[in-house]
Amino acid sequence: MMDGYAGKVLRIDLSTDEIIQEPLSKKMCEEFIGGRGFVAKTLYEELPPDTDPLGKNNLFIIATGPLSGHFLPASGKTHFGSKSPATGGYADSNMGGHFGPALKYAGFDMAVITGKAKTPTYLYIRDDIIEIRDAKAYWGKGSLTCEEMMKKDLGEDFQILTIGPAGEKLVKFACISHDFGRQAGRTGIGAVLGSKNIKAIAVKGTGSIPVFDLKKAYAKGKQAFKKVSEKPGFKGWTPEGTAGITDWVNEVGSFPAKNFQTSHIDHSHMINGKKVLERLKITDKACYCCPTPCGKYGKTKTSLGTAYMEGPEFETISLFGGSCMLESIEEIAYANYLCDELGIDTISGASVAAFAIECYEKGLITKEDIGKEIKFGDFDSIVYLLDLMSLKKNALGDLLSQGVKIASEKIKKGSEKFAIHVKGLEWTGYECRNAPSMMLAYMTADIGAHHNRAWVLGHDVVGAGTNVHDLITAGADSDTRPKAVIN
């Protein structure tokens, strides 16, 4: 077994109930390292090109890397891969939390799931005890509710990932939830689990991971934690999390307003990181072994309900607060909670809602199609639309559940011009009129419009020498924020 790795791959065929544990190949580790590399290699070699993303032959892959689960900063990420229901192409999404380390402690670096269970099912992994279990009691429950129920049933020490009703109903931007607020949000990976009749995966590992020299590894880990905490970005990132860049992105003219019709809003001061701290936050929350607790666990109270939730993070703020024009951080947080519970990606969910409102304003869909009048900035409208698309409540909800690309191709009448996506994946929270490199990053990202492959906004709007850490640090203090250079 190679040091750093758990040493095994778990393969489950839900159609035949076959469960295989096989050794992890040394060659694969050397050539593809782990995580995204393992996912890409496995999809390339094992997924037939004409596979239906929601068909039983699609693969659902969970992968960790050689550093996952070790005493190192932020070693808790878990990677997922599949063929995307949202784009029909490469699906790739990751989440923080504690799931990946638990999978490795159970002995597995990767799990490859295929087939389709006959009835609602969850996967139970406790070290090398692997079971396909009945999930009827959990089917239909919200993602967060399901996780809470399963923790009560199995024990707090299980790490659990779930899908919500949207995943069960095969909404094409359904996500995976974990740790009451960590999501693998993009590319519709939750719908792949739903298509396989898997409601959840629960894992508990009690083993350990081999390390070549434990003393040296521990010393390196301590050194890495120290280095991270001394980085300039640490000061800005930790207190407000990603919400800390809200005012800055707005000031440089890259905030998506009214379904990306403009690039600036007047109310960013009402929905920024400071408002998250003042009006929502109960406590900081971090992923496994992360010294930078960017998660803000809190409570929100609105006219439509009260909820406990994690977030909202920047993307959720920019798309609900900008693209949908909600002006209250409490309402944005509640929309965030609803997306989490229903099991949809906040980025795509907000973008689809904004697209629907613009269609309605332009007379391309009617009040009868929708079931009520809808408008930008109206909390009732946004909550109604999230429910409509996640639960496919009527024909329009069914259409919207397929994302803006397919919806616009069916609605037609020019709606394609304001369906904001790349490859069928809705844009994340940056308007790119003054940010050509960021636009290029969206256009060339392998999964579709996403900011995690290249975040080059700072270089576009402030200058090529911009240090991203400085921007983030400055974002926490509006008086020292770098000024935009807009040509």
Q: CB of residue 311 vs ligand SF4: minimum separation in angstroms?
A: 11
Kindly tell me which of 68 and 272 has the beta carbon lying closer to ligand SF4.
68
221 binds ligand SF4 (CB under 6 A): no
Query: Is 130 near ligand SF4 (CB under 6 A)?
Result: no
Amino acid type, 246: T
Q: How far is the CB of 178 from ligand SF4 (least distance, A)?
A: 11
Cβ of residue 308: shortest distance to ligand SF4, in angstroms?
A: 18
- The Cα-based distances of 298 to 8, 71, 130 in angstroms read 38, 28, 35
CB of 131 to ligand SF4, least distance (A): 30
Among 286, 364, 440, 454, binds ligand SF4 (CB under 6 A): 286
User: Which C-beta is closer to ligand SF4: that of 183 or that of 434?
Assistant: 183
**φ, ψ (nearest 5 deg) of residue 198:** -100, 120
Based on C-alpha coordinates, what's the Rg of the chain? 22
Of the listed pieces 45-53, 145-153, 209-217, 293-301, which binds ligand SF4 according to CB under 6 A? Answer: 293-301
CB 40 within 8 A of CB 59: no
- 203 beta partners: 125, 159
- Is residue 236 involved in binding ligand SF4 (CB under 6 A)? no
State which residue, 4 or 97, has the beta carbon closest to ligand SF4.
Answer: 97
228 binds ligand SF4 (CB under 6 A): no
Residues 452, 457, 463: CA angle, nearest 5 degrees:
140
Site for ligand SF4 in 90-109 (CB under 6 A): 96
**Residue 287, interface with ligand SF4 (CB under 6 A)?**
yes
- Please count the residues of this chain forming the interface with ligand SF4, following the rule CB under 6 A: 9
Interface region with ligand SF4, contact rule CB under 6 A, candidates 120-128, 143-151, 260-268, 283-291:
283-291
Does position 468 interact with ligand SF4 (CB under 6 A)? The reply is: no
Of the pair 116, 469, the CB lying nearest ligand SF4 is at 469
Q: Does 290 bind ligand SF4 (CB under 6 A)?
A: yes
Which CB sits closer to ligand SF4, 286 or 440?
Answer: 286
**Residue closer to ligand SF4 (CB basis): 310 or 331:** 310
Q: Which is nearer to ligand SF4, 69 or 397 (CB)?
A: 69
293 contributes a contact to ligand SF4 by CB under 6 A: yes
Is there binding between residue 137 and ligand SF4 (CB under 6 A)? no
Q: Which of 2, 33, 54, 74 binds ligand SF4 (CB under 6 A)?
A: 74
456 touches 192 (CB < 8 A): no
Nearest approach in angstroms of CB 486 to ligand SF4 is 30
Residue 184 near ligand SF4 by CB under 6 A: no
Q: Which of 4, 167, 188, 295 binds ligand SF4 (CB under 6 A)?
A: 295
CA angle 473, 420, 182 (to 5 degrees): 50
Pairing of strands 121-126, 198-204: parallel
Interacting residues toward ligand SF4 by CB under 6 A: 74, 96, 286-287, 290, 292-295
